[in-house]
């Protein structure tokens, strides 16, 4: 076990931490661990039978008992089982309540920032961690790219892990001497109660643009999911957390209007923003801007490029201030923000053109990164992108339209087609094209190699959609694939005889 649990907790003592409808059997067993996957149950574990999207967790309760589970928590009628069971109204909420108690409420001992929104979560959470570390507050990270824990870094499996895993990691951070944690909080995780039980010092809202409508259905439902983080913030018992909200975003303003008396720190370029950026200037080494906050003005220097990264930096600095960091030191720390993997990441290579990899996988994010690259004054901007299978189909033509508006050449390809026909995805993407020159390749590596083949002096290539991911999901397989490595290899293998001026 990687985090200190309560001393000899019993099934009975743990279920007191959540709402219970009924109990079958004697809840006397001592609980040594928590599990929601019957294949990973160890003797002494308490098993949570969750309702899955493809399989019913209740079917595995018997298997969990055979592997030594002391009992099961469920919101389903499982009938008679050989182990005790507690019926609850909502199994995921109960799991979060019990996990918080089992790991001794770790967020109470950490300064915690949670970042939600469509775009910018990863970069903002990375910046928050960096600011904490530079000013001397050891900080963990849980997000899309990786999990940073005391003494080790784990590859991320979910943007926001299930509550059992999240509370365990927070407990590991606390027990390992960390003083802070920076979390990406996805809309899925909020609906599924994964962060329930975490008390936040700062809850950040970056923006809201079309994404995940395959899951949420409508933008209003998507917004309602994001709002859960802030209504939860208002109900905290141990911390008086602050909401850090982008007041230049229309959904951000809507959120501010709906939060009532909850303390809000707004950020943006508007004159009424509590953390306000002005005099923004891009240069070869990054970006500078003036920050007006808390009655003072500061010159902020950051190695990151793009207006969206000004917003990400503003959000992170405001969150750091809400976590108790001294603003003057936070501003100084912004000058050394590290490169975030897969976010406007320059591909290494000695060529007379440049290539960047970015995670942009929504229409708004793709448009933003293309506008940033336009500011570098390329001779031509060549964009390679795809749209994921089994995801929001409505954004496919919108992404194509965004690529067309800001690119000189568009190459459309696959991006985790999953169980959909890649050709069918490409056809839906093409409906957004209104006549610009474009090419299509089902094979992503072929698309990238084509872009490199076409690139000439002064051009910029953008490979968008996958960012830090090192795999391609095709069917039920995850095939190794890394945009940065593939692009770098294609650049290295391009004959120098082809390195000529484009006409």
Question: How far is CA 202 from each of CA 205, 244, 266, 268, rounded to the nearest angstrom?
Answer: 10, 7, 12, 17
DSSP 293-337: ETTEEEEEEES--SHHHHHHHHHHHHHHHHTT--HHHHHHHGGGP
pLDDT digits 0-9 by tens, 158-200: 999 999 999 999 999 999 999 999 999 999 999 999 999 999 9
Range list of H helices, 176-265? 187-191, 213-216, 219-234, 250-258
pLDDT digits 0-9 by tens, 299-329: 999 999 999 999 999 999 999 999 999 999 9
361: pLDDT strictly greater than 60: yes
Task: Yes or no: say if 299 and 278 are a contact pair by the CB < 8 Å rule.
Answer: no
Q: Which tokens in the block code for residue 288?
A: 């500078």
> In this structure, what DSSP letter does residue 418 have?
B
Superfamily of domain 345-498: Mur ligase, C-terminal domain (3.90.190.20)
pLDDT tier at 78 (50, 70, 90 boundaries)? Answer: confident
Q: Nearest 5°: CA angle at 336, between 242 and 464?
A: 80
Domain ranges in the chain are 11-102, 106-336, 345-498
pTM for the predicted model, two decimal places: 0.85
The per-residue pLDDT for 503 is 39
**Measured distance CA(194)–CA(285) in Å, rounded:** 39
The per-residue pLDDT for 501 is 47
Q: Which of 165-169, 338-342, 432-436, 495-499 has the lowest mean pLDDT?
A: 495-499
CATH number of 11-102: 3.40.1390.10
Better-scored residue on pLDDT, 117 or 500: 117
Q: Which tokens in the block code for residue 142?
A: 């849980």
The C-alpha torsion from 342 through 345 and 350 to 352, rounded to 10°, is: 120
3-class secondary structure, 176: coil
Across residues 404-408, what is the average pLDDT? 95
CATH number of 106-336: 3.40.1190.10
- Residue reference for tokens 């007041």: 247
Q: Which tokens in the block code for residue 12?
A: 């009975």
Exposure string (b/e) for 458-475, b if CB count within 10 Å is 16 or more? ebbbbbbbbbbbeebbbe
């Amino acid at each position: 076990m990687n985090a200190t649990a309560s001393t000899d907790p019993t099934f009975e003592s743990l279920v007191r931490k959540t709402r219970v409808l009924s109990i079958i059997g004697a809840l006397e067993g001592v609980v040594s661990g928590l599990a929601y996957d019957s294949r990973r149950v160890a003797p002494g574990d308490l098993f949570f039978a969750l309702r899955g999207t493809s399989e019913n967790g209740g079917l595995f309760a018997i298997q969990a008992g055979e592997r030594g589970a002391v009992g099961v928590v469920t919101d389903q009628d499982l009938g008679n089982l050989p182990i005790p069971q507690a019926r609850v109204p909502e199994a995921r909420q109960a799991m979060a309540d019990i996990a918080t108690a089992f790991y001794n409420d770790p967020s109470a001992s950490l300064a915690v920032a949670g970042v939600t929104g469509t775009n910018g979560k990863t970069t903002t959470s990375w910046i928050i961690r960096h600011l904490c570390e530079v000013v001397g507050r050891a900080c963990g990270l849980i997000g899309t790219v990786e999990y940073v824990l005391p003494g080790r870094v784990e590859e991320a499996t979910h943007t926001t892990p299930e509550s059992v895993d999240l509370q365990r990691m927070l407990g590991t951070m606390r027990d390992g001497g960390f003083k802070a944690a920076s979390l990406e909080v996805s809309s899925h995780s909020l609906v599924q109660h994964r962060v329930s039980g975490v008390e936040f010092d700062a809850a950040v809202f970056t923006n809201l643009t079309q994404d995940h409508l395959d899951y949420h259905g409508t933008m209003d439902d998507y917004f309602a999911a994001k709002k859960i983080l802030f209504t939860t913030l208002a109900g905290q018992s141990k911390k008086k957390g602050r909401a850090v909200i982008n007041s230049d975003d229309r959904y951000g303003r809507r959120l501010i209007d709906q939060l009532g008396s909850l303390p809000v720190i707004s950020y943006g370029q508007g004159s009424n923003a509590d953390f306000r950026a002005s005099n923004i200037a891009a240069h070869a080494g990054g970006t500078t801007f003036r920050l007006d906050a808390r009655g003072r003005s500061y010159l902020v220097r950051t190695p990151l490029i793009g207006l969206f990264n000004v917003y990400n930096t503003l959000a992170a600095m405001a969150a750091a201030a809400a976590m108790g960091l001294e603003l003057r030191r936070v501003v100084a720390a912004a000058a050394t923000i590290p490169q975030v993997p897969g976010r406007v990441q320059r591909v290494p290579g000695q060529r007379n053109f440049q290539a960047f990899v970015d995670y942009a996988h929504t229409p708004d994010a793709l448009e933003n990164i293309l506008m940033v690259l336009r500011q570098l004054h390329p001779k031509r901007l060549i964009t390679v992108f795809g749209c994921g299978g089994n995801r929001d189909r409505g954004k496919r033509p919108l992404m194509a339209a965004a690529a067309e508006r800001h690119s000189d050449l568009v190459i459309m390809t696959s991006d985790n087609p999953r169980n959909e026909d890649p050709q069918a995805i490409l056809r839906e993407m093409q409906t957004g094209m209104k006549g610009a020159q474009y090419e299509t390749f089902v094979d992503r590596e072929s698309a990238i190699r084509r872009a490199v083949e076409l690139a000439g002096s002064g051009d910029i290539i953008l490979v968008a959609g996958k960012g830090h991911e090192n795999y391609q999901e095709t069917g039920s397989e995850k095939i190794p694939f890394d945009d940065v490595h593939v692009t770098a290899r294609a650049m290295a293998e391009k004959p120098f005889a082809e390195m000529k001026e484009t006409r």
